[in-house]
Amino acid sequence: MTDTDARSAGRGFDSAEHQARLAELYRDFEAAGMTPLWLTREGLMPAHPEPRAVPHVWSWADLLPLAARSADLVPVGRGGERRAISLGNPGLTGDPYTTPTLWAAIQYLAPREDAPEHRHSQSAFRFVLEGEGVWTVVDGDPVAMRRGDLLLTPGWAFHGHQNVSDAPMAWLDGLDIPLVAQTDQGFFEFGPDQVRTRATPERSNSERLWGGPGLTPVALAGPRPASPLMAYRWAHTDAALAAQLDLEDEGAAGVMEPGHAAVRYTNPTSGGDALTTMRTEFHRLRAGAGTRPARTSASSVWQVFDGRGSVTLNSLQRDLERGDVIAVPAWTECAFQTGSGLDLFTFSDAPVFEKLHLLRTEVTG
Amino acid sequence: MTDTDARSAGRGFDSAEHQARLAELYRDFEAAGMTPLWLTREGLMPAHPEPRAVPHVWSWADLLPLAARSADLVPVGRGGERRAISLGNPGLTGDPYTTPTLWAAIQYLAPREDAPEHRHSQSAFRFVLEGEGVWTVVDGDPVAMRRGDLLLTPGWAFHGHQNVSDAPMAWLDGLDIPLVAQTDQGFFEFGPDQVRTRATPERSNSERLWGGPGLTPVALAGPRPASPLMAYRWAHTDAALAAQLDLEDEGAAGVMEPGHAAVRYTNPTSGGDALTTMRTEFHRLRAGAGTRPARTSASSVWQVFDGRGSVTLNSLQRDLERGDVIAVPAWTECAFQTGSGLDLFTFSDAPVFEKLHLLRTEVTG
Amino acid sequence: MTDTDARSAGRGFDSAEHQARLAELYRDFEAAGMTPLWLTREGLMPAHPEPRAVPHVWSWADLLPLAARSADLVPVGRGGERRAISLGNPGLTGDPYTTPTLWAAIQYLAPREDAPEHRHSQSAFRFVLEGEGVWTVVDGDPVAMRRGDLLLTPGWAFHGHQNVSDAPMAWLDGLDIPLVAQTDQGFFEFGPDQVRTRATPERSNSERLWGGPGLTPVALAGPRPASPLMAYRWAHTDAALAAQLDLEDEGAAGVMEPGHAAVRYTNPTSGGDALTTMRTEFHRLRAGAGTRPARTSASSVWQVFDGRGSVTLNSLQRDLERGDVIAVPAWTECAFQTGSGLDLFTFSDAPVFEKLHLLRTEVTG
Amino acid sequence: MTDTDARSAGRGFDSAEHQARLAELYRDFEAAGMTPLWLTREGLMPAHPEPRAVPHVWSWADLLPLAARSADLVPVGRGGERRAISLGNPGLTGDPYTTPTLWAAIQYLAPREDAPEHRHSQSAFRFVLEGEGVWTVVDGDPVAMRRGDLLLTPGWAFHGHQNVSDAPMAWLDGLDIPLVAQTDQGFFEFGPDQVRTRATPERSNSERLWGGPGLTPVALAGPRPASPLMAYRWAHTDAALAAQLDLEDEGAAGVMEPGHAAVRYTNPTSGGDALTTMRTEFHRLRAGAGTRPARTSASSVWQVFDGRGSVTLNSLQRDLERGDVIAVPAWTECAFQTGSGLDLFTFSDAPVFEKLHLLRTEVTG
């Protein structure tokens, strides 16, 4: 019996007459579209986040063949726009969302296939687990996609993809579709049916302009919401992670915790996250290392880029193989372990809640 | 027939065999928790926001008696916490949300009644249509509530309410409950069962410290996420609106458009919105004036504080009386008109989308 | 003998031949306009600031008669522009500067006299020790000047003054003239010979628009470099200081240290300093109170608004009377004491060095 | 005759008696340390900046031999600290300043010579015209110095230099010594007599951590006043400039104006200038190109890194050779021309005046 119940009893609130009047009141509330907080408070305002989304791991070995089968059966084209298949969180029944704010999908282009140009207010990126041969054309700038690269499509930038090779290519797409959909912020526009350039340069214009460390073109200086650098190349990411671990060996600062290196992809015009609504990072665990259990009110998605290990998500423990995709809902205790070393790409909605002063994080282990 | 269909046909994608294989693929997707974007893109990524929430007007004449009836039948106390009844948008079936991000409710305290202290990550405010006699105690600081006042409860501030008068009092509560609930950012903590002070000062400490225009206590200087000023008094709001209309008569700047004055409640430590996730404003239309039809990707709630008029929300037109509450979903064309003058309080989720660089607004009329 | 000398000796650097060659080198440096750091380092880069400016106190009893005499002898008009007489720091010989960055002056308008309009990149304010009857017209907005008020003239705003009364009026002018002069940032433009309006309203338009605590006109929202509020009235300042001391008696936060209340004049659009280059504050010491000795790399000017007390500036101790003006160079230990209570207005260059990450402050007593 | 004079005449201000009284007043002002604005306004507050500093060009062919001679005659060591010889602007007589805010010097280390460690609130950088073999140790991190590199020493970072080679090395030092000296913001502290590490790595730790384009170590994330990247290598600068000109040929954005490429050295944690008080940039003019004449209220120093050309500074025109150093005072019309191509390093005080909202720039040609 809650205090409310107790006081009710004291005031004769448990009489049959009272119950009848109360039932009538609740019917009238319902008719008026009104809902009493005292019946919903616990669900609406829990002591800590109690996500409907659940921790989940998808196996790349399952995802890739399904995506490949769809290439035989479903063309890419105007209307459908993309051969992308989202990973729906089992807890979020009815919605194709990986977490309440994030949408992760496997996208697949058959040899010589194109995806037409469009743009949308949703922010997007591609992370490449394997393969090459596709160029994504972002606002007219062709950007090569290769293993280990992160490629950005900031909100409202036109973009299409083309596979110029004779092999299919698949990658991980990340977008803020659920956040934008649930808050009604989505705008979408079709572009040309064909990508506007067939050029396949090694380096995009954005890399030529913004790819020098700490160098800003004077003509383009000034803060921008999202990064003007469209590609973060694996060679740089790999070198930065290796350097952090080397520095740890040399006794210098750099790693997040023992054996755990990490880089964040950032917007060189502001130093903040590369995209406005999503944080993107790459983490490397040295052989034998693990992360200290922690939880955050951000939700995240992880993909195993290389190595093997395991993840513990609250009470769920799962072994991890290359390509596996992991959904980590808000306030889920999360820890990674590895015997032989583990490379992980991840994205989260942390920037949203940092900007709103809602983000909380705590180390639990 | 979309382009995709057309190309499918060209590649023999309309054969019975193909259909069978496709059906099998879709079953396998479903089993794997995967959803093809090409079947959901239009709903997930519309050309412009297509809210499930609908424009709606609640009559104060309906709300108040229902709230009063609940005072006879339901006590306020630990567990239930508040006698607040939310206005659920008819389009958002199943959820007690006024818009996808905002929660508006009528809260009612019987004579001499208390609401116990608690705190939560949700931001909250009270706007007082009528009455007085309640003090809300925010982090130990008792804040009087009177007609026309806006009272803040920034996220994670302890707060309880007490009615020290012999009359009931009702007011409008605004919170970001839906946003916080759907994104799993909610934390909640119980405080003392009784408000921690029975003092009923005319001015809260926050007003004594922060209520001088442009004056900052040196000892407390520095930016804060939310306003340290807990009360915005009607006398100041009224004077500021009157001044804007007077200045318009004098040919000086100040009004938003002819006959339309408006003030925003702001955080004196940053100049930004008073709360981190909600914009709060008061608008006044001169007799005979109207607002130019416009739409924004923010959603909002309005309450008629005084006067009469009408509102046009897309194709819905409704007359407005004192106390009426209006839900305006994202991208709804909205315009107010009045013959005799109209005073409107409003709150919206605009700061969220401004910070995420998603907000769009356009004048349509 | 420094290390440098010692090593020189070890390398035979003390021979006559060496001395001759060195003398020749120094002559050649001089001819080339070159200066060796090793001869100037100690002066250019001291261990801590060693200002040429000295602590100094000017007596209002001396200043006012001199200003009054000039009214008989020197008109105000185009070219001279202002009857303002600056207080030159005795240490800064040759320059009429109160500190290396600040210019304080007494300005005097005879009855019915005008000062013509002009504008400049220098920021300016007026602080009124006594009197009334003058309106300063800032970008066309007439702003009354009365005892205890702070009136702003942000950089590049046109402004003129008019005395509409039959009594003379004098006040303290503060500008960043030395900073702007020494760094070559000054622009200046003449405006109308006569102030553009003879209106003498109680409240300026800027106060009508921006004078509500925490209220921002929606039509004018957005950050500005300097405050849009041109007048900070004594009644508000006095009330805010009294409230801080009352709150101290009640055991609540607010004062800077025991018995020491202080408010900063701030820009409501940003929460920062009211002017871009100068911090303006008002301090009140309760009877029997004192400030803890402290020093800061900012330089400042203080004026006794009311009460009596004393100031200690390094080894200088001086009694203070109403109107006295005090120059506090950088890194000067400063403390105030009072038996009967002391009210002090002050301005400093702190915002400049805060923005450049150069400001240092330490409590020394 | 100014208006003031005219009105004086009208009021009999030209009588002998008046002149006598005025002279007496001015004596009394002087005794009181007071200066009338009407006698100084024109000098203190000119219509536009009228710098005492003058446009000037120093020839590297003159500077280097003088610096080399000093190596024979003056050791580097404690007290003298550095063998750096500043370029004093001929207009700023008495002060060894290149502009009123900037200090440029040639620094020279003999073979196997050291400069001891110290730190200061002044920001500093080194730009290398030619040579190699010196490592500057910044807060314990050894940073190689080679032709074309920019090396930072943010304010209050310990730093010393060591020449590990058998050749002397000279470079350009840039500091904000005049700004800090004139505003009394200088703090200075001696460090170890010997640099704290003799390591001579190819890449500094700062480059290993921060040298990946757009990559931030997660453990070190967050804004910093100055760049954590201590070295900007020539290979990157050169490539970025070449890319801008290539993009111009391809019809894409990037250059500042036809044939004029430029990069700014920036702080990756904020996107702003690499140092808090100085802007550092590298400009490249294509053969046959010139810059459009322009002036700015910032003052700057330029060094010819490569190529030949000429500069026009108001009415001064000078041919330019490799190594030449140019002082450009505020509001000096400046334009560069080249027949065969010109590479220029430059630094200025622009960030100071941007932050203070004082900076003005205009194209004049």
pLDDT in tens, A23-82: 999 999 999 999 999 999 889 999 999 999 999 999 999 999 999 999 999 999 888 899
Chain A partners of B2 at a C-beta cutoff of 8 Å? 77-80
| CA D358 – CA C353 distance, rounded (Å) | 15
Among A37, A101, A360, whose Cβ lies nearest the Cβ of B86? A37
Is the minimum CB–CB distance between D219 and chain A shorter than 8 Å?
yes
Residue C13 confidence class, pLDDT cut points 50, 70, 90: low
- Which chains have 3+ CB pairs within 8 A of C? B, D
C22 and D331 within 8 Å at the Cβ level: the answer is no
Tally of CA atoms within 13 A in the half-sphere of C171 that contains its CB = 27
| CA C104 – CA C280 distance, rounded (Å) | 13
3-state secondary structure string across chain C? CCHHHHHHHHCCCCCHHHHHHHHHHHHHHHHCCEEEHHHHHHHHCCCCCCCCCCCEEECHHHHHHHHHHHHHHCCCCCCCCCCEEEECCCCCCCCCCCCCCCEEEEEEECCCCEEEEEEECCCEEEECCCCEEEEEEECCEEEEEECCCEEEECCCCCEEEEECCCCCEEEEEEECHHHHHHCCCCCEEECCCCCCCCCCCCCCHHHHHHCCCCEEEHHHCCCCCCCCCCEECHHHHHHHHHHHHHHHHCCCCCCCECCEEEEEEECCCCCCECCCCCEEEEEEECCCCECCCEEECCCEEEEEEEECEEEEECCEEEEECCCCEEEECCCCCEEEECCCCEEEEEEECHHHHHHCCCCCEEECC
Chain A partners of D283 at a C-beta cutoff of 8 Å? 218
- Say yes or no to pLDDT of C26 above 70: yes
Chains A and B contact (Cβ–Cβ under 8 Å for 3 or more pairs):
yes
Contacts of C319 (CB under 8 A, 6+ apart): C308, C309, C310
pTM: 0.96
B48 and A183 within 8 Å at the Cβ level: the answer is no
The total of other beta-carbon atoms located within 10 Å of residue D61's CB is: 11
The C-alpha angle with vertex B7 and arms to B5 and B8, in degrees rounded to 5, equals 60
According to the model, what pLDDT value does residue B9 have?
47
Chain A (248-287) residues lying within 8 Å, Cβ to Cβ, of chain B: 276-277
Contacts of D261 (CB under 8 A, 6+ apart): D240, D241, D242, D244, D245, D248, D254, D255, D283, D284, D286
Chain B (108-137) residues lying within 8 Å, Cβ to Cβ, of chain A: 120-122
Residue B153's nearest CA partner among B48, B227, B79 is B227
- Which chains have 3+ CB pairs within 8 A of D? A, C
Cβ contacts of C142-145, under 8 Å, gap ≥ 24: C142/C195, C142/C197, C142/C199, C142/C200, C142/C201, C142/C204, C143/C204, C143/C206, C143/C207, C143/C230, C143/C231, C144/C200, C144/C201, C144/C202, C144/C203, C144/C204, C144/C231, C145/C169, C145/C171
- Which chains have 3+ CB pairs within 8 A of A? B, D
Chain A (220-239) residues lying within 8 Å, Cβ to Cβ, of chain D: 220-221, 223, 227, 229, 232, 236-237, 239
Q: Is A163 exposed, middle or buried (0-12, 13-18, 19+ CB in 10 A)?
A: buried
pLDDT in tens, B232-274: 999 999 999 999 999 999 999 999 999 999 999 999 999 999 9
Count of positions (residues) in chain A: 365
According to the model, what pLDDT value does residue C11 have?
57
Chain C (134-173) residues lying within 8 Å, Cβ to Cβ, of chain D: 155
pLDDT in tens, A158-187: 999 999 999 999 999 999 999 999 999 999
Helices (H), D137-280: 177-182, 205-210, 234-249
Q: How distant is the Cα of D326 from the closest Cα of chain C, in angstroms?
A: 13
SS3 B343: strand
CA-nearest residue to A60 within chain B is: B32
Q: How many contacts (CB atoms, under 8 Å) link B and C?
A: 159
Chain C partners of D177 at a C-beta cutoff of 8 Å? 44-45
C240 and B212 within 8 Å at the Cβ level: the answer is yes
| CA D57 – CA D320 distance, rounded (Å) | 9
CB B352 within 8 A of CB B101: yes
Cβ contacts of A10-15, under 8 Å, gap ≥ 24: A11/B75, A13/B73, A13/B74, A13/B75
Chains B and D contact (Cβ–Cβ under 8 Å for 3 or more pairs):
no
Chain B partners of C217 at a C-beta cutoff of 8 Å? 240, 244, 254, 262-264
Which of B143, B215, B234, B269 should we substitute to test contact with C (largest number of C Cβ atoms within 10 Å)? B215
The total of other beta-carbon atoms located within 10 Å of residue A193's CB is: 12
According to the model, what pLDDT value does residue B1 have?
34
pLDDT in tens, B79-110: 889 999 999 999 999 899 999 999 999 999 99
Task: Give me B312's structure tokens.
Answer: 């046009």
Chain B partners of C262 at a C-beta cutoff of 8 Å? 217-219
Q: How distant is the Cα of B139 from the closest Cα of chain A, in angstroms?
A: 18
pLDDT in tens, B317-327: 999 999 999 99
A240 and D218 within 8 Å at the Cβ level: the answer is no
Among D237, D256, D271, whose Cβ lies nearest the Cβ of A219? D256
SS3 B196: coil
Q: What is the mean pLDDT of residues C111-126?
A: 97
According to the model, what pLDDT value does residue A80 have?
84
Chain B (50-109) residues lying within 8 Å, Cβ to Cβ, of chain A: 50-51, 53, 56, 58, 62-63, 66, 69-70, 72-90, 96, 100-101, 103, 105
Among B221, B266, B283, whose Cβ lies nearest the Cβ of C214? B266
Mean pLDDT score of chain C, rounded to an integer? Answer: 95
CB C82 within 8 A of CB C67: no
Name the stretches of chain A with pLDDT < 50.
1-6, 9
B77 and A3 within 8 Å at the Cβ level: the answer is yes
Strands C215-217 and B260-265: antiparallel
According to the model, what pLDDT value does residue C79 have?
83
Report the Cα D197 to chain-centroid distance in Å: 29
Cα dist from B178 to A38, A118, B265, whole Å: 16, 31, 22
CA-nearest residue to C39 within chain D is: D80
CB B118 within 8 A of CB B105: no
D38 and C80 within 8 Å at the Cβ level: the answer is yes
Task: Give me A118's structure tokens.
Answer: 């469009």
Return the DSSP state at A290. Answer: B
CA-nearest residue to A277 within chain B is: B356
| CA C87 – CA C177 distance, rounded (Å) | 12
Report ipTM for this prediction. Answer: 0.95
Residue B342's nearest CA partner among B264, B254, B281, B283 is B283
Q: How many contacts (CB atoms, under 8 Å) link C and D?
A: 302
Among B205, B211, B221, whose Cβ lies nearest the Cβ of C213? B211
According to the model, what pLDDT value does residue A365 have?
84
Among A220, A237, A256, whose Cβ lies nearest the Cβ of D212? A237
Residue C53's nearest CA partner among C175, C203, C178, C177 is C178
According to the model, what pLDDT value does residue B85 have?
96
CA trace torsion A56, A57, A62, A66 (10° rounding): 50
Among D45, D90, D299, whose Cβ lies nearest the Cβ of C188? D45
Chain A partners of D241 at a C-beta cutoff of 8 Å? none
Report the Cα A74 to chain-centroid distance in Å: 26
Phi, psi of A62 (to 5 degrees): -85, -40
Among B75, B103, B355, whose Cβ lies nearest the Cβ of A355? B355
| CA C316 – CA A88 distance, rounded (Å) | 75
Chains D and C contact (Cβ–Cβ under 8 Å for 3 or more pairs):
yes
The total of other beta-carbon atoms located within 10 Å of residue D276's CB is: 22
Name the stretches of chain D with pLDDT < 50.
1-6, 9
pLDDT in tens, B200-243: 999 999 999 999 999 999 999 999 999 999 999 999 999 999 99
Residue B60's nearest CA partner among B345, B326, B325 is B325
